[in-house]
Structure 1
Amino acid sequence: MTARAQERESPALPPAPPLAAAELDRVRGAVSAALTGFLDVQRETLAGMDPVLVPVADEVRALADGGKRLRPLFAYWGWRGVRPEGPGEDDDAVLRAVAALEFVHASALVHDDVMDGALTRRGRPATHVGFAARHCDGRLAGDGEAFGIGSAILVGDLALVWSDELLRRSGLSTAALSRARAVWDTMRTEVTAGQYLDLLRAAGGLPGPQGALTVARYKSAGYTVQRPLQLGAAIAGAGERAAEVYTAIGLPLGEAFQLRDDVLGVFGDPAVTGKSADDDLREGKQTLLIALAEEAADATGRRLLAGSLGDPDADAADLDALRDLLETTGARARVEERIAERTALARTAIAGAPIAADARAALDALAVAATTRTA
């Protein structure tokens, strides 16, 4: 059965409860407001240093303006799920703190696009491409491509610096900040290590499906769900038991999220995803989809993978042939099955978690949104 047939025959997941949906929108709005206020100040700071720095601030803003705010949402509801009765951290301070996750994410996206040679991100030129064009338009001296790459590395670094600053200035108590730092540091170490593992796999290390899952675990899954949930728990002052509960939710859900991202990277609608559906194939991205196809392909299929995957000059026919191979080998169907299985595991953990009822409803809605998304 093809993945499309499976999608048609699978029972629809229940929709988010109305209250959960409204609360998710409220948190998204508050996170966006926190980012806007912070970036307004930073833009003025850079402009005061020299007006030529304004495009750097504007690039970070453009990166932070996009996205679904999933990481802050998981962190906020991780906090709401286990926050203590009585006086505690101020809601607005928590929202500003979790908004800092968007800068960590922006940094990872910029650096990832440089390493992958991606051309677009969220419907606009990738940061290194945009700054290379700025070099050309400004008739600057030297190599425009090198200027774009160097600028992008610095934009990503600045976003990471600002993530620390926003967290520190969020208004959380000193005790909550101290608790949060342990999770924060682990998360940022893991995502950086995951980026290296991705490079290593692309160079032939970490082979096979397990290698693909290891990269997904550290490059994306952990810092998308597990660590944000644990960050919220740390802010609340919850103990080790809460961290374990959130790991049981976060690891399978984070994996399902990344696998959905991999499918969209090849089969998604560019008008919806904001990036070409050809880039992952031209870059030769070694996802679970590819690993499973390599295992199941016959000699002809393996020749196609060897000749067209990772070929920047592959034409539309080559890329369509690769997509067909992912379908006919059953690779896409198997990835869809794993997404469904890991999502179900996470939702079962959410249903049984000893957390507040409103947080349980919100996290379940997020689980559905994160794994059935089209962008």
Structure 2
Amino acid sequence: MTDTKIDMLYLSEQDVIDAGVMNIDECIDVMEEVLVLVANGQYRMAGSSANSHGAMVTFPEHSPFPEFPKDTEDRRFMAMAAYLGGRFDTAGVKWYGSNIENREKGLPRSIHLIVLNDKDTGAPFAIMSGNLESAYRTAAVPGAAARKLAPENAKSLGLIGPGAMNKSALDTFSRLRPTLDTVRINGRRRSTSEKYAEWVRENFPQFTTIEIVDSAEGAVRDSDIVSVAVTGMVGSENYPYINGDWIKPGAFLSLPANLKMDKEYTLSGKARLVADAKAIYEAWAEEYPAPCHETAFGMIGLNWQDLIGAGELESERVVNIGDVFAGKVPGREFPEQPVLFSVGGMGVEDVAWGKTVYEHAVEKGIGTKLNLWNTPKLV
């Protein structure tokens, strides 16, 4: 008779910290491995194409039911389910709720939970705090791309959106390019930018020049690396805008959030268009009415997919970063070509980094064992 007992390991935020969730160097290595697996097709996610970002619950602007939450900026619930092959060979889900008003309560905009499951029985074997896991894997994906494609002796970093995502991004880029000594910060509110600048002064002495700029142009011009991490309402009128003429030759742009750019620049071939995974943008295009960049999400990769769908951009112009890592396609077509790297985010990344943190926790004896059952009541 088989053992029917199911135990899970619970990891609090402090537990995942102790297990190394903030080890950005290891996370970058893991994300590079993940993106090669994705480019090779060794994964499954939700939806009919197995490429869906996840299942999302949103709320109406008006409702006859008084208990209903009202639609506000960035309010949603999301489940990002995935299976990842290779040495990870694990299924899992990241579940989170998000509301930008959380910041007024001293809480993160989104609150994440990770669950990992055995691929055969489906039994959960880990449940963990997910905010740091999500933040660091989000930073590590462009980090892996930057390690390969950012200018070797980068000096200046431009940031649009001085929030949590760009805190982990700055940490990542400063480790990868210790030559960085200048940061330019553009935020919606001066007070937020000043608070971010103070955080940089306290934690990153390598930045001897810290500038608060009043426009996206000020953050982009003359910057070797640019990171845009602004969330908000759907519709390009709400997205930050970058003119291609502002972009420094050879610059690397990390784009994990909303952004608007000129179609002429996108189509010109002046910049290399690189995606974390083309298939997730194709899935979005199937799930949402065109143009998806206006109706679904603001990642620039969806704008590229809209142009592909309209027959204006050749699909081959957008390449997978995993294929760049594997040497199947070049990162740049000519030396001074800027790289635009679109990051949509995938549940497989959470599975991979969550599984890695879990393994470290087991090795170190970290966490609390929770019992699901010894023998199930219903079989």
Give the TM-score taking structure 2 as reference length. 0.29
Between structures 1 and 2, the one with greater helix share: 1
Give the TM-score taking structure 1 as reference length. 0.29
